[in-house]
Amino acid sequence: MTSDLLFVYGTLRPGFGGERAAWLASVARPVDAAMARGALYRVDYYPAFVPQADGLVVGDLFHLPNATAILATLDEYEECAAHFPAPHEYRRERVRVQTTGGGVDAWTYVYARDVAGLERIAGGDFLG
């Protein structure tokens, strides 16, 4: 299943100001602000997104002109490419996100570990 949309909620967001966020902004086209159902937790300097019916997570939606190459690079960044030892901290999966134009399915990176003991980010906005 391929998709050329990516939902980002943490260190890949344009407002974060990191090197990888700048790279993504240079290779992908911003589409809209977006929200996904779920919870956001603080792991360290980066967040963890867990899809769930309760709560909303704030982020940004990007169109990926070369989705295969861009996602392969991001899988390396998120350390969830096949060559990384399991268990991975994140996994890439499709989620439903809402934009001002309606709902769409997009790739995102979901936290794959237990969130017990992690602080939940109130309001679901890592940059807020």
Q: For the chain, which domains are there?
A: 5-122 (3.10.490.10)
Non-local CB neighbours of 29 within 8 Å, separated by 6+ positions: 62, 63, 65
Three-state SS string over 6-71 comes to EEECCCCCHHHCCHHHHHHHHHCEEEEEEEEEEEEEECCCCEEEEEEEEEEEEEEEEECCCHHHHH
DSSP code at position 119: E
pTM attached to this predicted model: 0.95
Spell out the per-residue pLDDT of the chain, length 128, in tens. Answer: 458 999 999 999 999 989 999 999 999 999 999 999 999 999 999 999 999 999 999 999 999 999 999 999 999 999 999 999 999 999 999 999 999 999 999 999 999 999 999 999 999 999 98
